Amino acid sequence: MIELERPIRFEEVDAARIVFFARFLNFAHEAMEHFFAGLDGGYSRLIMERNVGLPAVDVAMQFFAPARYGDTLRIETTTARLGNRSATLRYRMSHRASGERLAEVRHTVVTSNLLEMRSIEMPSDVREIFSSHLEPDTRAGDEPRR
């Protein structure tokens, strides 16, 4: 599990004064970039120099409580499923101060060549990071379990 803490920013709320629901996917991606910080050159080198990326094919989100400006999020990222070319990341988002559960996001990605935009075998360094954070009760398998 990789943890990220980040404050809600001033412009991340909406006209209902709670964090805009789409923002939780921005937070998820930020947590994914942090998850892959251990790659040589980080996630950005994977994208910019190796032309390999992890486009989403499926997202499932649940919202439990609203977040507001002034809150700090804790995001715990794990690998919920690991296949040959795809994987599912799980982000558990909570309110740092109270521990209250705010949202959960499952994010299924496919390792892709960005120039040709087609799936490829997962590079070994990417797989290693996914493997290191596999949830304890998860068995490998290429098919999403929904």
Residues that bind a second copy (CB under 8 A): 7-11, 13-18, 20-23, 25-26, 28-30, 33, 41-45, 47-48, 53, 55-63, 66, 68-70, 114, 117
| Residue 72 near residue 94 (C-beta atoms within 8 A) | no
Smallest separation, CB 138 to a second copy (Å): 20
Q: Is the dihedral of CA 133, 65, 73, 100 positive or negative?
A: negative
Closer residue to a second copy in complex, CB, 37/136: 37
Smallest separation, CB 119 to a second copy (Å): 13
Helix (H, G, I), strand (E, B) or coil at 130: helix
Closer residue to a second copy in complex, CB, 12/79: 12
| Residue 74 near residue 94 (C-beta atoms within 8 A) | yes
Smallest separation, CB 131 to a second copy (Å): 23
In whole angstroms, give the CA distance from residue 68 to residue 66.
Answer: 7
Closer residue to a second copy in complex, CB, 74/136: 74
Closer residue to a second copy in complex, CB, 17/136: 17
Smallest separation, CB 57 to a second copy (Å): 5
Q: State the amino acid at position 6 in one-letter form.
A: R
In whole angstroms, give the CA distance from residue 30 to residue 21.
Answer: 15
Longest dimension (CA), the chain: 45
